[in-house]
Amino acid sequence: MTKDYRRTSFSEIVKGELLGLVFGFLGALLVTILEKESPSSLFYIIPSVLGISSLVVDLVGNLKPFIRIDQEKIVKYKFRLLKKETVAVSLPWQKIKEVDLNFVGFGFIKYKFRLSLKSGDQCLTAENTISDFKDLLREVFSRATSASSNKETKQIINRYFEELLRLIPSLSLKNRLWI
């Protein structure tokens, strides 16, 4: 059975569009309060065009799978907006040697989880903006049985993905040994 994961989850698309609207209205309100006159029409047109183009890119980018999992391997495809999908990384489950789950972000502000699957010279990465990220984690930890992980990965699972411990008995056994 194969399962596809999209590049951006629907909740991330909605969150981005809502934040764009909120900041757009706050910017317009701030300009009208400080300027004491109405801003030009370009002030409203440019953000709306950028917001609509961002929405179209996200929606069209989600038509094709970004990560595909089956019984033998996990495959990550290159992001191509309108072209045919091409494989970026393909890792058989038995060849995955290391699974890392850590925080990433700008500087000291860490706001995303990044999953990295390493196999010798190849590395597959996925961030928590991917659709059904918890399902992806569940699949990875249940299928990559020969992989090892570092201390930070173990702490993140214990703290943020505790439901994985209840869903996958083998993971909870490993986790008791991790502490």
pLDDT at 89 exceeding the cut of 50? yes
111 and 43 within one domain: no
Model confidence at 177, pLDDT cuts 50, 70, 90, reads very low
160 and 107 within one domain: yes
71-87 confidence digits (pLDDT tens):
999 999 887 777 778 88
**Domain of residue 145, residue span:** 94-178
Q: Which residue has the tokens 């951006």?
A: 8
Please indicate, yes or no, if residue 72 is contained in any of the structural domains.
no
**In the numeric block, which tokens belong to residue 43?**
């002030």
Contact 117, 147 (CB under 8 A): yes
Please indicate, yes or no, if residue 75 is contained in any of the structural domains.
no
Q: In terms of DSSP bridges, do strands 109-119 and 98-106 run parallel, antiparallel, or are they unpaired?
A: antiparallel
Model confidence at 167, pLDDT cuts 50, 70, 90, reads low
pTM of structure: 0.74
Q: CA 98: distance to chain centroid?
A: 19
Rounded (10°) CA dihedral 101, 104, 110, 113: -40
User: 76: exposed, middle or buried (C-beta count within 10 Å: 0-12, 13-18, 19+)?
Assistant: buried
More confident residue, 48 or 116: 116
- Report how many domains make up the chain: 2
Kindly report the backbone phi and psi dihedral angles of residue 119, in degrees, each rounded to the nearest multiple of 5, phi listed first: -145, 90
- Tell me the sheet residues that pair with 118: 98, 123
More confident residue, 169 or 6: 6
